Amino acid sequence: MIERNNTRRYVYLLILSILLVLAGGLLAWWTQTAGGTITIRDVRFPGTNDTEMSALLYIPAGVTSENKAPGILAVHGYINSRETQGGFAIEFARRGYVVLALDQTGHGYSDPPAFANGFGGPDGLTYLRSLDIVDTDNIGLEGHSMGGWTVLAAAITFPEDYRAMVLEGSSTGAPFAADGTAEWPRNMALVFSQWDEFSELMWGVPTPPGMVETDKLKTLFGTTDTVQVGQLYGSIEDGTARQLYMPRGTHPNDHISTEAIGNAIEWFQMTLEGGNGLAPSDQTWYWKEIGTGIAFVGAVLFIFPAGALLLQSDLFKDIRLPLPAGKGAVGIGWWIAVALTLAIPALTFFWLQNRAGEWLPASPLFPQTHTTGIMVWALGNALITLVLFLIWHFMSNRAAGVTAESYGVSTNLRIIGKSLLLAVVVIIGVYLLLVISDLVFKTDFRFWVVALKLMNALQFRIFLSYLIPFTIYFLIASMVINSQLRQIQADGSPVSLTRAMLINAALMVGGILIMLLIQYAGLMSGNPLPLAEPLLTIIAIQFVPLLIIIAFILTYFFRLTGHIYVGAFICALFVTWYIVAGQAIQVAL
């Protein structure tokens, strides 16, 4: 009876997860198409040196070759993709602009390597201008962060082929971009948030407010005085217009800021002819973000009942073992282990990732610089943790006859093999949900910086390269949190599953969360990031939800199976896919 009730509960949860994916996708589709009035096409086009470029093309209702509309090239920043500019693209399209949301070279589905061919900016502008539905006398360029350098590259290559530009969290004169003057770029607005992490890189000042006093910005704005936020400089008619906006927010927050998006809308309405004049404050893009966020939650939820139902099938039920008796650390030893579990990931996060470039430069085997950095960080943590775990075992538990099985580690190849097969089936299920979402709604699973995308053939090959190292990390992580740090009640029984999941989530994410709080408390108090490392700090943000998900999966499947393998294999497949699909490829393959 208990098993039957559990089966019914798993089926209900499975149905709920699928409904969340479908409902979230429908909400996202309805929003990004403005109720079905905007057409969104997934386009591929040839670029420089036979590079295949990828983009999403947004076409407002009523736009035809006889009724042309202004066009905007919208470009994401480093280690993002075309969907990241969704808020901007949706709102531009709602105002009657044709929008090409480009994947930079080496990002998303555009061919590698990253940084090649002006980041793909000239090719994107060429393609946008080739469309017979676009008014080529009214072209806008918008780019966030490195996307700003992408549109600057387009403006350098084709100086007469655009009318206005918005740089979001970016600058002229940064690496790979030309110095700005009072005449170039044409009609440029700069949107740079008050707590942007990259003020030193972009404008050579420790914090964003100081940029208004820099010679670089004054030269760009054609003044010798302090640049005033919100003041129009130059002439729109002459193409020398300039305006500085400083919304409240951080660098990645620009993607989900009604203020930053509204600033871009306002500038293009001032500088481009055409469009429907819809007020900048009238925005709906966030419902798309909510929708894809709901779908992401549904996809993660799917993992739990799908795995549980498979474990009840005849094929997999024999890998369910009794839960090992608790043989973890106790007393002061437990607290020492907790302190180390929190400290080690945070203390090594920057150092190991920075060393990765020296130890393992981008290569055909490991072609994604930042994925390699995360891999080196994960393996470094795994090695440190394993050494400490073995010291603890031999000093505290070995004499008491504690074996590997007590830690959920089995040498039975049948258990290991079937656990891997089950994990593959579960992740294929999640992948199919994403395929359906892409086909039906033209959406992926995401919320802000957390995004799960489909892989192309090249990304799948790269996924296989990184899979084994990440698997090693998750096997060791599962062993530690589910055995050494496992808590039991006074009568020797395990704590509830919910409590165990929450404790393990706090253990896995706590150190990174504390590090981020230190960083942003300093930044938002008017100082530079205390630990510097702006890019890796932004990368760390997505680890907060990701590590919570990982902890839940590892704990849940350890409880169901009595061993570490199912949860570790699911996490390895899920996280490797997640990271590889969202990272840039720095090597031509």
- Correct CATH for 35-273 of 3.40.50.1820, 3.30.465.10, 3.30.420.130, 3.40.50.300: 3.40.50.1820
391 exposed, middle or buried (CB, 10 Å; 0-12, 13-18, 19+)?
exposed
Q: What is the 3-state secondary structure (H, E, C) of 498-516?
A: HHHHHHHHHHHHHHHHHHH
Q: H helices of 360-412, where? A: 369-392
| The pLDDT value given to residue 213 | 97
pLDDT of residue 237: 97
Q: How far apart are CA 573 and CA 455, in angstroms?
A: 13
Which single residue is written with the structure tokens 């070759």? 65
Q: Which of 388, 355, 396 lies closest to 374, judged by CA?
A: 355
Cα 94 from Cα 365, distance rounded (Å) = 43
With a CB cutoff of 8 Å and minimum separation 6, the contacts of 31 are 90, 284, 285, 287, 288, 291
Rounded Cα distance, 197 and 520, in Å: 9
At residue 422's C-alpha, the angle toward residues 418 and 426, to 5°, is 170
Q: Return d(Cα 142, Cα 76) in angstroms, integer.
A: 9
Q: 167 in the Ramachandran plot: left (φ > 0), alpha (ψ -120 to 50) or beta?
A: beta
- Single-letter residue type at 244: L
Per-residue pLDDT of the chain (589 residues; tens, 9 = 90+): 345 568 999 999 999 999 999 999 999 999 999 999 999 999 999 999 999 999 999 999 999 999 999 999 999 999 999 999 999 999 999 999 999 999 999 999 999 999 999 999 999 999 999 999 999 999 999 999 999 999 999 999 999 999 999 999 999 987 667 889 999 999 999 999 999 999 999 999 999 999 999 999 999 999 999 999 999 999 999 999 999 999 999 999 999 999 999 999 999 999 999 999 999 999 999 999 999 999 999 999 999 999 999 999 999 999 999 999 878 888 899 999 999 999 999 999 999 999 999 999 999 999 999 999 999 999 999 999 999 999 999 988 887 778 899 999 999 999 999 999 999 999 999 999 999 999 999 999 999 999 999 999 999 999 999 999 999 999 999 999 999 999 888 777 889 999 999 999 999 999 999 999 999 999 999 999 999 999 999 999 999 999 999 999 999 999 999 999 999 999 999 999 999 999 999 999 9
* Helix (H/G/I), strand (E/B), else coil: 452: strand
Residue length, the chain? Answer: 589
| pLDDT computed for residue 4 by the predictor | 54
Domain boundaries, the chain: 35-273, 323-582
How far is it, in rounded angstroms, from Cα 536 to Cα 222? 35
- Letter string b/e over residues 260-299, b meaning 16 or more CB atoms within 10 A of that residue's CB: bbbbbbbbbbebbebbeeeebeebebbebbebbbbbbbbb
Q: State residue 397's pLDDT score.
A: 84
Q: How far apart are CA 568 and CA 551, in angstroms?
A: 10
Q: Which two tokens stand for residue 396?
A: 């505290």
Count of CB atoms situated within 10 Å of the CB of 163: 22
| Interatomic CA distance for residues 12 and 69, integer angstroms | 48
List phi, psi (to 5°) of 178: -80, 155
The per-residue pLDDT for 403 is 87
pTM of the entire predicted model? 0.96
